[in-house]
Every structure is written in structure tokens, then in C-alpha cells.
Amino acid sequence: MLKRIFLFLTISLITLEGYAQNTGSNNPKLTARVDSIIAEMTFQYITTNPEEAEPILLEAKALSDSIGYKRGLALALANLSTLYNYLSRFDVSVESHLQAIRLLEEIGDMEEVGFQYSELGYRMRRRDMDRGEYFMRTGIRILKEFEEDIPIANAYNNYGMLKLEKKETDSARIFIQRSLDIKKAENDTLGMAYSYGYLGGIEMQLGNYERAIQYTEQGYDMRRVLGDTSGMAIDLHNIGFAHLELGNFDDAIFYYKTSLKLATKIKYHRLAEFNYGTIAETFEGAGKLDSALFYQREYSAYHDARIDEAANNRVAELEVQFETEQKEKELAQRNVQLAEERLKVEQRNWFLGVMGGLFMFGLVVTGLIIRQQRIKQRNLKRENELRIQLTNAEMENKIHQERERISRDLHDNVGAHITNLITGIEISNLHLQKDQTESAIDLLGNLDSDARNAMNELRETIWLLDKDEVTLSTFIEHVKAYLKRQERYLGTMKTSVNSSVSGQLIINPIQSLNLIRIIQESLNNSKKYSQAELYEVSFTNSDEGIKISLNDNGIGMDLDVRPSFGNGLRNMQSRAEEIGGEFKLTSSPDEGTQIMVQLPL
């Protein structure tokens, strides 16, 4: 909605652009509109919504240029520099930033000049450290001449990070702590979040990983309140790295994947690519080569896509540059022709001069109308292209999610059975080599049962995915059949299935597949740990859809002593969330365990 409001605003105002250019004077109303647009383009909004922010900033740039509003043009260019840097279009980012600084110097806004120099230095540090440090020092030197605290605090934060990357940790801590003190005094929550994140980086470099996690989590909590999604994604990645260094493999993978999910959502391409590579390396280091191979392939595909995108962007820039040069040549030729016509008109009598003036006036009005129509067409074309890109991205993301679900399901179930079969065959061979024939026969009997279970798991997955839709009654019968097959493995524990819901309700195959996996995981946990006599599956109506309850009357557990989920419970929660449901666990000692999945229909 915000995007549409801004587009409507700027497209409506552009009709006055020709008048502003002809008069050569600033229009106070248009100036105020530009200022309003720039004020809305916060750092969080730009980095969280880059595709929505770009057309708005381009329109603000065009409007500022048309009315001669240099400060508005400079700030639009500075914000575009932030956006292009975030999208890894570094050359365009630096060029926009330098143009902004030149314009600010022309109008004498030196405080903003100092701030933009420090920002440019921060972005240049990884490409040219010496040049980046020069720009930062220039910005700090200018900002010290003013009494405003926030700009100099931002510059200190940037300079501290540069010092950290040069491994000058003591200097880095001094500047970042100085910035944090100012941010606290000014109650600048976003600035405090960045300072805490940077202090976490210092502790990370020194090997103080517990302390690094504390600082980074402080910054993350502040960003979450502000909705700074890009900063949250960076903090989650850094927390994951610290856990990996502490040997907490599962925690590290959890934070890396959460960071990847956020980075992909907001199209933070560099961080998403880095997360793919880091997760692949982490799985490889842990010896989980199948997962490592999967994420390495995802990293390669993502990396190749980014290279293609960068090449396409460069081609588009060259095409725009060529078209601009052509238009400038045509305009120059047109100006020469108009000058010649004007000279001829001046040589004629007063009547012909009046008629010629009227004719020229008609041409100008026609030109303005044509220009307005072209601008509207360009805006409509740009908006349609953005919609197409967004639709394609959503479709690709859905395809990726479906592939990931199927791959994970096959790996978690059939893959586990096959691994057990391979191990069992190796052990039976050892029994045969030692003439332990009876043990080998017993083991092979168990392996036969496992193989049949694996085949049943595979057939079950194919059965669920092969259907466009599944009625609830069919699904409940499938659950009953599954529990019946498991009775021989449950010992004294009995099972039952109850339903008070209409059997004609429809669920899609992905929902049915995830629900059956949740039931399987729950039953397995009850069998292993609960010592229960009864395991019950219930389907009931709810306000939003249906509720599936998985209950046992076993020994339960104390959630206050064990507040965090294990892998099995976390997988069940993840599956429930993937199908748009809610997951709730209730348990207490000697009171059994209840798992509730609320599924909207």
C-alpha cells in the first residue's frame, strides 16, 4: 500500500515538471513532497524492501532534478547508493554517493557532507581499505565542527568497524563505545543496536564467544522491536558463528538457517549466498556429507544466479546510458532547428511573428502532453516489470520449498531405514564370518521387517504426494491403518483414533504428508520415553479449522526444567508451521503428554 501511495503521489506531481524546468525556480509544494518521500525512506525500509524502495527513490530523484532542488536530489542519490550497495551493485552505488556529496558541497550543507563521507568510507572499506579510511577521517573531521551528536556517533561506529577489520581491536572498542554512550544519551535505539552488534564483533575476534553472543543478542532484541530485518539476519548469522566456535553444532545450524530465511525473504543476496556456503561447510565439518552436498549445490546455484543478475544489471545500465546520449543528441539538434526557426520569424513582419509565436506555443503544449504520456507509460511499464519479477520470485521460492520438503521427508524416513539396512547387513556378514549363523538369521529377519517398513514409508509418501487433494475421512483411515501396522512394535501400549469432524473436509497432499510425519514422530517419542499404556489421536472442530490432538497417558515431563525442544519436537513444530498451522506442547510429570496442532482450512 505504501508503494502505491508514493507512486501515485510522484506520478501526479510529475505533470508540473515541465513548468518547473521552464521557470527555473523551486516549487515549495514539490520541495515539501520530495522531503516527505525522503523522510519515509529510512535505512530499515530501504534494506528490508529494496524492490519497493527503488522506484520511489528514482521518482524522487527525477522530481528533484526537474525543479532544481539540489538537496532533495542529493539525499535521493545517497539513499539510492545505500540500496545499490545492498543489492551488490557497487559501482553504481559509489557513483551515486559521490554525486550526492558534490551536490551537498555546492549548497554548503557541510554537516550532511561529513556524514555522507563517513558512510562512503564505510562502504569502501572492503574494496579499498586505505581509501575507505581516508573518507571516514574526512567525514569525522567535518562533523567535529558541529554540535549535533547523532551524526558524529554514526561516524564513530563506522570508524570502529573499519578498525576492527584492520584487527586494531583496542581502537575499535574505543570508537564504538564512544558511539554507544552518545546513542544511549540520545535514546537512539537503532544506533545502540548497531553498537552492540559491533562490540559483539570485537569479542568474536578476541575469541570471547560467550560475551560476543550476549552483545549480539542485545542488538538483535532492539532490531526486532524496530523491524530492522536486514540487521536481524546479520546478527543471527554472527550468533550462529559464535555457537559453532563453542562447539554447539545444532544451535549454529539453527541460527544460520534462520538468518538464511530472513535474508532470502528480503532479498539480501550477499548474506543469503554467504549463509548457504557457511551451512554447507558446517555440515561438511560435522561429517554430514549429504546435507553438506545439498547446501553446496544451493550455494552454487545462488552464486551463479547472482552473477547472471549482475551482468544483466550492467547491460541494462549501458542501454540506459546509450539511450540518454541519443536523446541528448536529438535534443541538441532540435535546439539548433528551433534557433534557426526563431531567427527567421524575427526577420518577418509583426503579423507573421505573432502567428509564429502561437504556432510555437502549440508545439510546446503538444510537447508537454507527449512528455507526460511518455512518463506515465514508463512508470506503468516499470511497475509491471516489478510485478512480474515479484511473481517469478514467489513462484521460484514455492518450487524450492516443495523440493526441500520432499527431500527432507525422504531423508528423514526412507533414508533412515536404508541406513539401518546397510548397517544390519554389515553386522550379519560379521556374524557369518564368525560362524554365528543363528544370530545372522535373526538379524536378517529384522532387516526384512525394516526393508518392508521402508517400502511402506516410500509408498506412503508417493500415495500422499500423488493426489491433488485428500478428504479428511480418507486421511483418518490412513492413520488408523498406520497405527494398526505399528501395534507389533508398541508392546503393551494401545492406540485409538477418534474424530468429530466432517469427513468431507479437504486437505492438500503437503498438509497430509506433514501431518502423518508429525503423528509418526509423536508415536515414536511416546513409545521410547513415555511408558504409556494408551496413545490417542483425536480430530475435532475449531473456530479456524480443525484441531489434531496427540495424547498419551505416560510419565510426562517437566517443561520448566526442560524448556527447549529437542530435534524431534523442533521438527514437528517446523512441519506444523510449514502448513500454516500452530503447534503446542503440554506436559507435566505423571500427567502424560499432549501435542496439539491447529490447522486452518
Backbone angles phi, psi at 273, to 5 degrees: -60, -40
Cα-only R_g, the chain? 32
Instruction: Output the pLDDT for position 339.
Output: 58
- Does residue 584 belong to any structural domain of this protein? yes
Least reliable range by pLDDT among 11-25, 239-253, 360-374, 528-542: 11-25
- Does residue 347 belong to any structural domain of this protein? no
Domain encompassing residue 562: 468-600
Q: If pLDDT is split at 50, 70 and 90, which confidence band does 553 have? A: very high
Please check the confidence at residue 195 and state whether its pLDDT lies above 60: yes
Contact status, residue 240 vs residue 256, Cβ threshold 8 Å: yes
Instruction: Output the pLDDT for position 22.
Output: 33
* pLDDT, averaged across the chain: 80
Write down how long the chain is. 601
Instruction: Output the pLDDT for position 319.
Output: 46
Please check the confidence at residue 536 and state whether its pLDDT lies above 90: yes
SS (H, E, C) 223-272: HHHHCCHHHHHHHHHHHHHHHHHCCCHHHHHHHHHHHHHHHHHCCCHHHH
- Does residue 476 belong to any structural domain of this protein? yes
- Does residue 175 belong to any structural domain of this protein? no
Alpha helices in 469-582, H assignment, sequence order: 472-486, 509-525, 567-578
Contact status, residue 544 vs residue 501, Cβ threshold 8 Å: no
Please check the confidence at residue 525 and state whether its pLDDT lies above 80: yes
Contact status, residue 416 vs residue 407, Cβ threshold 8 Å: no
Question: What string of DSSP letters covers 172-216?
Answer: HHHHHHHHHHHHHHHT-HHHHHHHHHHHHHHHHHHT-HHHHHHHH
Please check the confidence at residue 420 and state whether its pLDDT lies above 70: no
Please check the confidence at residue 40 and state whether its pLDDT lies above 80: yes
Q: Which residues contact 110 (CB under 8 A, 6 or more apart)?
A: 104, 142, 145, 146
Q: For residues 20 and 14, give the distance between their C-alpha atoms in angstroms, rounded to a whole number.
A: 10
Q: For residues 198 and 533, give the distance between their C-alpha atoms in angstroms, rounded to a whole number.
A: 54
Instruction: Output the pLDDT for position 552.
Output: 95
Instruction: Summarize the confidence of residues 156-181 as an average pLDDT.
Output: 87
Least reliable range by pLDDT among 366-370, 405-409, 481-485: 405-409
Cite the beta strand spans of 290-414 per DSSP E: none
Q: For residues 225 and 230, give the distance between their C-alpha atoms in angstroms, rounded to a whole number.
A: 13
Which residue would you say has higher pLDDT here, 25 or 435? 435
> What residues are paired with 600 via a beta bridge?
545
Please check the confidence at residue 136 and state whether its pLDDT lies above 60: yes
Spatial strand order in the sheet of 593-600: 494-499, 534-541, 545-552, 593-600, 582-587
Instruction: Output the pLDDT for position 343.
Output: 66
Q: For residues 300 and 404, give the distance between their C-alpha atoms in angstroms, rounded to a whole number.
A: 16
Q: If pLDDT is split at 50, 70 and 90, which confidence band does 214 have? A: very high
Q: For residues 170 and 183, give the distance between their C-alpha atoms in angstroms, rounded to a whole number.
A: 20
Instruction: Output the pLDDT for position 408.
Output: 62
Instruction: Output the pLDDT for position 522.
Output: 92
Contact status, residue 152 vs residue 140, Cβ threshold 8 Å: yes
Instruction: Please write the tens of the pLDDT for every residue from 66-124.
Output: 888 999 899 999 899 888 887 778 888 888 888 989 999 999 988 888 888 888 888 88
Q: For residues 422 and 439, give the distance between their C-alpha atoms in angstroms, rounded to a whole number.
A: 17
Residue 269 CB-density burial (10 A; 0-12 exposed, 13-18 middle, 19+ buried): buried
Closest-CA residue to 533 (of 558, 517, 551, 559): 551
Instruction: Please write the tens of the pLDDT for every residue from 338-381.
Output: 656 766 666 667 767 677 778 788 788 888 888 888 888 888 88
Cell numbers 538537496 correspond to what residue?
A: 71
Q: If pLDDT is split at 50, 70 and 90, which confidence band does 558 have? A: confident
Contact status, residue 276 vs residue 253, Cβ threshold 8 Å: no
Instruction: Summarize the confidence of residues 559-582 as an average pLDDT.
Output: 81
- In one-letter notation, the amino acid at residue 420 is N
Summary count for the chain: helices (H), strands (E): 23, 7
- Does residue 424 belong to any structural domain of this protein? no
Instruction: Output the pLDDT for position 414.
Output: 65
Which residue would you say has higher pLDDT here, 12 or 334? 334
Q: If pLDDT is split at 50, 70 and 90, which confidence band does 304 have? A: confident
> What residues are paired with 13 via a beta bridge?
none
Instruction: Output the pLDDT for position 213.
Output: 93
- Does residue 494 belong to any structural domain of this protein? yes
Contact status, residue 228 vs residue 44, Cβ threshold 8 Å: yes
Please check the confidence at residue 232 and state whether its pLDDT lies above 60: yes
Backbone angles phi, psi at 480, to 5 degrees: -60, -45
Please check the confidence at residue 416 and state whether its pLDDT lies above 70: no
Contact status, residue 176 vs residue 157, Cβ threshold 8 Å: yes
- Does residue 156 belong to any structural domain of this protein? no
- Does residue 516 belong to any structural domain of this protein? yes
- In one-letter notation, the amino acid at residue 422 is I
| Domain count for the chain | 1
Percentage of the chain surpassing pLDDT 90? 17
Contact status, residue 135 vs residue 121, Cβ threshold 8 Å: yes
CATH number, domain with residue 536 = 3.30.565.10
Cell numbers 517419542 correspond to what residue?
A: 525
Q: If pLDDT is split at 50, 70 and 90, which confidence band does 406 have? A: low
- In one-letter notation, the amino acid at residue 102 is R
